């Protein structure tokens, strides 16, 4: 009996088991002009319409043969819900926020009905559509922005990193902690909507933050997030890995 894409991917990720072939998955966007043409869906519709978003994600499985489907193609969904003015781009250009609502590092106001904001709701609806279409057949991957990336959107990348360079760690930590519940809530909602795995994207590459600042400022935040999210997250963490613990999974030091 042929093993499903879902079983191949989930088994390889969490049990180290081998199927009849290695799984081929991608937890990030695989969208290109050719895939948009094949699916009959283009940006910016795929950022704003749940059916378009799901159709384009499904094409990654049905047209390209990936064992995963991933229906979020921008890094701006949470930013838009938190007050950023977003230009949703077009077929040739990715979305971009046009303002930084908390560049003064004032207290971040998280809306009471955050998950009902259009930019958040569209992702949850797309995941639900994909669950109905390929649940148990292909691994459904969600995506959330971590607090570090959200801080770029709230305060501006250069501004945020300059505060770190100037030693304003209290100001930076306050913003990270105020944004942490956004990441947790969206991840939990994506699992509930139909995601099998959620990617937590936090842009902390070596050219943006050094190991010392990651350990001092962000590692404790990541540890708290992964402890509170009830489901498997994909997140590169130095010296840490996702291990089975009881009936669930937890980050453990290697």
**Domains of the chain in sequence order:** 74-253 (3.20.20.210)
Structure tokens at 78: 């949470």
Tokens linked to 201? 């994207």
pLDDT band at 18; cut points 50, 70, 90: low
Q: What pLDDT score does 235 carry?
A: 76
Q: Could you give the CA distance from residue 183 to residue 219 in angstroms, rounded to a whole number?
A: 15
Residue the block writes with tokens 């801080």:
151
Give residue 236's pLDDT band: very low, low, confident or very high (50, 70, 90): low
C-alpha distances (whole Å) from 190 to each of 70, 104, 133 are 12, 31, 16
Lowest mean pLDDT among 17-31, 51-65, 82-96, 150-164: 17-31
Over pLDDT 70: what percentage of the chain? 89
**pLDDT tens digits, one per residue of 126-144:** 999 999 999 999 999 999 9
Q: Give the mean pLDDT of 199-208.
A: 79
Q: What is the pTM of this model?
A: 0.89
Q: Which two tokens stand for residue 147?
A: 């607090």
Does the pLDDT value for residue 47 go beyond 50? yes
**Beta strand pairing call for 233-234 and 197-201:** parallel
Q: Residue 241 — very low, low, confident or very high, per pLDDT cuts 50/70/90?
A: very low
CA 95/CA 49 separation, integer angstroms: 14
| Average pLDDT value for residue range 135-163 | 94
Q: What is the largest distance, in Å, between two alpha-carbon atoms of the chain? A: 60
């Amino acid at each position: 009996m042929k093993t499903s894409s879902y079983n191949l991917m989930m088994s390889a990720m969490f049990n180290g088991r081998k199927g009849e072939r290695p799984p081929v998955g991608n937890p990030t966007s695989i969208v290109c002009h050719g895939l948009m043409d094949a699916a009959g869906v283009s940006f910016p519709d795929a950022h704003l319409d749940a059916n378009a978003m799901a159709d384009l994600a499904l094409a990654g499985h049905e047209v390209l043969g990936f064992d995963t489907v991933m229906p979020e193609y921008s890094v701006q969904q949470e930013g838009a819900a938190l007050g950023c003015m977003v230009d949703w781009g077009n077929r040739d250009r990715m979305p971009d926020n046009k303002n930084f609502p908390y560049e003064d590092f004032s207290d971040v106001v998280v809306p009471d009905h955050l998950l009902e904001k259009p930019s958040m709701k569209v992702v949850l609806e797309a995941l639900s559509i994909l669950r109905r279409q390929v649940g148990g057949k292909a691994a459904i991957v969600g995506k959330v922005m971590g607090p570090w990336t959200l801080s770029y959107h709230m305060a501006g990348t250069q501004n945020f990193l300059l505060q770190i360079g100037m030693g304003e760690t209290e100001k930076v930590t306050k913003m990270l902690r105020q944004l942490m519940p956004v990441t947790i809530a969206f991840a939990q909602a994506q699992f509930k909507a139909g995601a099998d795995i959620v990617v937590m994207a936090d842009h902390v590459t070596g050219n943006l933050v050094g190991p010392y600042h990651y350990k001092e400022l962000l590692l404790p935040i990541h540890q708290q997030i992964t402890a509170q999210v009830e489901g498997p997250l994909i997140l590169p963490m130095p010296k840490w890995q996702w291990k089975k613990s009881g009936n669930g999974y937890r980050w453990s030091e290697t």
